Amino acid sequence: MANVIIVGAQWGDEGKGKVVDIYTEYAKDVVRYQGGNNAGHTLVVGNEKTVLHLIPSGILHEGKRCIIGNGVVLDPKVFLEEIDKLKKKGYLKNDSQLVVDGNVHIIMPYHKAIDIARESNSGARKIGTTGRGIGPTYEDKVGRRGIRFIDLIRPEIFARKVKEMLPEKNFLLEKMLGCPTLDESAIIEEYSAYGQLLSKYLGNASKLLNQSISEGQNILFEGAQGSLLDVDHGTYPYVTSSSTIAGGACTGTGVGPRFIDAVVGISKAYVTRVGEGPFPTELNDEMGEKLRQAGQEFGATTGRPRRCGWFDAVALREAVRTNGMTGLAITKMDVLNDLETIKICTAYSYRGEMLEDFPQDLEVLKECKPVYEEVDGWNCDLSKATSFETLPEKAQDYLKKLEQVTGCPAVLVSIGPRRSETIQVKNPFN
């Protein structure tokens, strides 16, 4: 028996969805533990592409239970749309495949309005959020003013909570942020209807998952965003508002840390970032554009072009440490196919000083210049490879180099977006 956490090892969009879809085969339950529909997780099976924002990426496997843990924030409208799309494609035949924990916090219309207004009012200080209301929802959760899934599905309690909350939100929207106010009865009517449609998914994630553990079944925890977007350990304030690292899997589901057996960090063979914030290996040149085109680096949630750069071992070592990572899944190797040489950042230079560790101080990070090692590219197609050994020698060397500079073994290599374009080096469930 093994319980495995999947985390993003960079700034998100590393290919977590694809890896979760592959590992679902070995698990009984797949559970999201934080974030909301700021996430966009892409799965490609054959020629069919599915993008999931809230529902765990195990949902394409019939008979696997997909759970939304208490640490997630949920937009009920988006959730219903996602369910509908999946059902139209022939998935989610049995509603018992999907469970939402009662303590999940609900993203309300005022959260979205505040998120968008704050961003548009903050000029150069904006974060570049996804505008999905994530930050304001987590603020209310920690401020003990949130509305939970259990409240949404009980009409009287829900109406009372909206009536309590809305005057303050409308004051903020109108007087501070210069936005239109929101209508109380319209919200109550619309969201109560969502609550009634969704009540059948209510469950206790902690209880269900611990039951699975006691039966000797495997659990797969699906992280969203990336380690460097973690609210505590990321490039604050240019982060998301949840605990994206492996520790978040325990608080976000109600499963104790002693039941976690492996933490697999997903990393691209290079780096991307969407939104604002420092990014030492960013390439604002032809090479950056080449990576963007070859990797089709456009956001799965907002469609924004992703910023691209060389692999950053300094940032990755930080993620290896904060997650207690046991293995790395390296994705998008194929994007580097036609490069003569490839650069790997192994240290930073800061005012003439060499830094091996990722600085906590954003003012320092902003000034860091990458120190590169240049290695040979493999300069050919990887699609024939079916194992680590059948990869071209130079591609094997690149992967070994990444293992060496990060101090973490590669357990999976991805050579294309499809489920089939995957090399499993070591199964973390064994």
Positions in the binding site for ligand GDP (CB under 6 A) = 8, 12-18, 39-42, 44, 295, 300, 331-332, 334-335, 414-417
* 13: contact with Mg ion by CB under 5 A: yes
Nearest to 22 by CA among 296, 412, 382: 412
Judged by beta carbon distances under 5 to 8 A according to partner kind, the member of ligand GDP, Mg ion, ligand IMO, none in contact with residue 70 is: none
Q: Which residue lies nearest ligand IMO, judged by its C-beta?
A: 275
- Partner that binds at residue 225, options ligand GDP, Mg ion, ligand IMO, none, CB closer than 5 to 8 Å by kind: ligand IMO
How far apart are the C-alpha atoms of 12 and 7, rounded to whole Å?
9
- Minimum CB separation of residue 393 from ligand GDP in Å reads 20
Least Cβ distance, residue 176 to Mg ion (angstroms): 32
Query: Which DSSP string do the residues of 95-163 spell out, in sequence order?
Result: GGGEEEETTPEEPPHHHHHHHHHHHHHSGGG-----SSSHHHHHHHHHTT---BHHHHTSHHHHHHHHH
Q: Which residues pair with 63 in a beta bridge?
A: none
- Minimum distance from residue 416 beta carbon to ligand IMO (Å): 19
Q: Give the one entry of ligand GDP, Mg ion, ligand IMO, none that residue 274 binds, where binding means its C-beta sits below a cut-off of 5 to 8 angstroms depending on kind.
A: ligand IMO
Residue 218 CA to residue 99 CA, distance in Å, equals 17
Q: How far is CA 397 from the centre of its chain?
A: 28
Considering only residues 32 through 51, tell me which ones interact with Mg ion, judged by CB under 5 A: 40
What is d(CA 47, CA 56) in angstroms, rounded to the nearest whole number?
20
- Residues with a catalytic annotation lie at 13, 41
Closer by beta carbon to ligand IMO, 12 or else 248: 12
| Among 102, 128, 155, 324, contact with ligand IMO (rule: CB under 6 A) | 128
**Measured between alpha carbons, how far is 389 from 373 in angstroms, rounded to an integer?**
24
**387-413 in b/e burial notation, b at 16+ Cβ within 10 A?**
ebeebbeebbebbebbeebbebebbbb
Residues 213-232 close enough to bind ligand IMO by CB under 6 A: 224-226, 229
Q: Among ligand IMO, Mg ion, ligand GDP, none, what binds residue 334 when CB lies within 5 to 8 Å by partner kind?
A: ligand GDP
Choose among ligand GDP, ligand IMO, Mg ion, none what residue 331 binds, the Cβ cut-off being 5 to 8 Å by kind. ligand GDP
Stretch in the footprint of ligand IMO (CB under 6 A) among 37-45, 195-203, 324-332, 355-363: 37-45
Distance, in Å, from the CA atom of 333 to the CA atom of 307, rounded to the nearest integer, reads 17
